[in-house]
Homo-oligomer: A and B are copies of this chain.
């Protein structure tokens, strides 16, 4: 039995592919779409395809970009000797929203997890090593969450650079255990950045 007209059903099915969108929300969103202006719907339709086609990882830092190199790596006003290592795009977005960090990023796109069979080669780590080797007196800030995977990855990176001329710090404790960086309030995130502790130099 068909409850919805076909083209309504198709839109519902698309919305239901988005995270946190169930049957009821999809129906509400689809009806709201019909109330939007044709211009806005066309904009959204184009934004989807454009985002999917143009966005990719920056070849230097792994952050999200629609340019050849991301706007942060391309910014000569930022400190390229200060690299903030984050798990994912969302963490980098969160720091940029606070706006106090003037270094650059390295997005790992994952964390080492022996339990999930994710090793150092499965995340964006080797490019960090070659990147750091080219710098003079670099500092690496490890901004990973305080979970087993986060700690494991922190320890692993610390070990890699242990005997090299690299200052390594991690975010200050003050992160609630197990919290996702993206959901932290901005003040806490800012404090954690400021209170970072050097763990090897």
Contact = CB atoms under 8 A, between A and B. Distances in A.
Interface stretch (A40-48, A120-128, A184-192): A40-48
Interface string A28-51: 111111101010111111111111
A94 to B, nearest CB: 9
A7 interface: yes
24 contacts: A3-B96, A3-B97, A4-B64, A5-B67, A5-B71, A6-B66, A7-B54, A7-B55, A10-B47, A10-B51, A11-B51, A15-B44, A17-B40, A18-B29, A20-B25, A20-B28, A24-B182, A24-B183, A27-B182, A31-B89, A36-B52, A41-B52, A45-B48, A45-B49
A34 B17 contact: no
Interface of A: 1-8, 10-11, 13-15, 17-21, 24-25, 27-34, 36, 38, 40-55, 64-67, 70-71, 89-90, 93, 96-97, 99, 182-183
**Copy total for this chain:** 2
Contacts of A47: 7, 10-11, 13-14
A67 B7 CA distance: 10
Identify whether the interface residues of A are mostly helix, strand, loop, or mixed: helix
Contacts of A14: 40, 43-44, 47-48
A183 B25 CA distance: 12
A52 B38 contact: yes
A72 B45 CA distance: 30
B64 A8 contact: yes
A71 B8 contact: no
Contact of A70 (B1, B5, B18): B5
Contacts of A90: 27, 31
Given A20-B28, A71-B2, A93-B3, A42 B33 contact: no
